[in-house]
Amino acid sequence: MKTFAFVFPGQGSQSVGMLDAWSDHPVVAQTLQEASDALGEDVAKLIHEGPKEALALTTNTQPVMLVAGVAAWRVWQAEGGALPAAVAGHSLGEYSALVASGVLTLAQAAPLVRLRAAAMQEAVPVGTGAMAAILGLEAAKVIAGCAEATAALGNSAEVVEAVNFNDPAQTVIAGSKAAVEKACEMLKAAGAKRALPLPVSAPFHSSLMKPAAEKLRLALAETVLAAPQIPVLNNIDVAVQQDADAIRDALYRQAFGPVRWVECVQALKARGISHIIECGPGKVLAGLVKRIDAELVGAALYDPTTLTQTKELLA
């Protein structure tokens, strides 16, 4: 069998009905019920019916993406899928990876990510923060451009930072609205092909999220973590941690630090992994894998058809 890793998607991959293809699978029904009990609401109805606007609310997006990733993982296990050599997750997806590894239960993780989402939204009022994807420019130039934009505004309240290193030519920036707009303008002048504003409600992973991270830190301190059963490669340090306090600290810092996805994929390859399977809705991470390293095989697992394809691919 091929040496493979599972990776879990974060915000942006949600869609109404994203678990419908598995609606009759008992493991999915059980997962939805667990999440509903933990959150005190009907998560299955929210995912099945939406509406889209409700799913797009950060306080809903983060729990439903957690649940969808865990559901796909549990179907894989129930259908006799082998254990991956490692797991990781993009941003919020790291929580799905920790559930897959046994560090957190779903009942622990669901309220935790809802708290994380609510704290992030409260940290920066809607409309005052922004994010944008910078395409066609190497990461080092994006970092430099953000520093120049911040300096040009000359106001300590205006910040913009590189926060998601998604592939060698796609970096997401975040910060205060004026600073993000200034950076987009300067980065296009520096050679970026496009600077696309993202439809998000807060500047995730920027230093503006520090107040949210403090609330999360308090909740994490009270959360009992089990030892990982599968190595979990984290976003913030591109490292595998075994110690519970080190895992808590990484999750705390991840809330206001960058998602180093390019390095995460490279680190998985360095562990001897040849196939990286996105577990959960969408194909975003599978696509990034190929752009980060053409030698790696990226695939997605999100319905019965792709489950069969993934088994065949890894055989």
**What's the pLDDT score for residue 253?**
98
Q: Count other C-beta atoms under 10 Å from residue 152's C-beta.
A: 14
Mean pLDDT, rounded, for 9-25: 94
pLDDT at position 113 over 90: yes
Residue 35, pLDDT above cutoff 90? yes
Q: Which of 101, 205, 206, 275 is catalytic?
A: 205
The tens digit of pLDDT for each residue in 271-286 reads 999 999 999 999 999 9
Handedness of CA 279, 282, 284, 286 (dihedral sign): positive
Arithmetic mean of pLDDT over the chain: 96
Helix spans in the chain (H): 26-39, 43-49, 52-56, 58-78, 93-100, 106-123, 139-153, 177-189, 210-221, 244-254, 261-270, 284-292, 304-314
Cα separations (Å) of 4 from 54, 266, 268, 279, 285? 35, 13, 9, 12, 14
Its sign, for the CA torsion 55, 60, 61, 64, is negative
- The question of whether 205 is a catalytic residue gets the answer yes
The yes-or-no answer on residue 91 being catalytic is: yes
Sign of the torsion angle spanned by Cα atoms 14, 18, 22, 23: positive
Confidence of residue 67 (pLDDT cuts 50, 70, 90): very high
Mean pLDDT confidence for 156-185: 96
Please state whether the predicted TM-score (pTM) of the whole model is above 0.95.
yes
Mean pLDDT is lowest, of 50-54, 101-105, 244-248, for 50-54
Q: Which residue has the tokens 């030698």?
A: 295
Cβ atoms 153, 249 nearer than 8 A: no
| Residue 201 pLDDT level (bands cut at 50, 70, 90) | confident
Residue 157: which pLDDT band, with cuts at 50, 70 and 90? confident
Catalytic residue among 91, 101, 176, 206: 91
Confidence band of 12 (pLDDT split at 50, 70, 90): confident
Asked if 148 and 186 count as a contact pair (C-beta separation under 8 A), the reply is yes
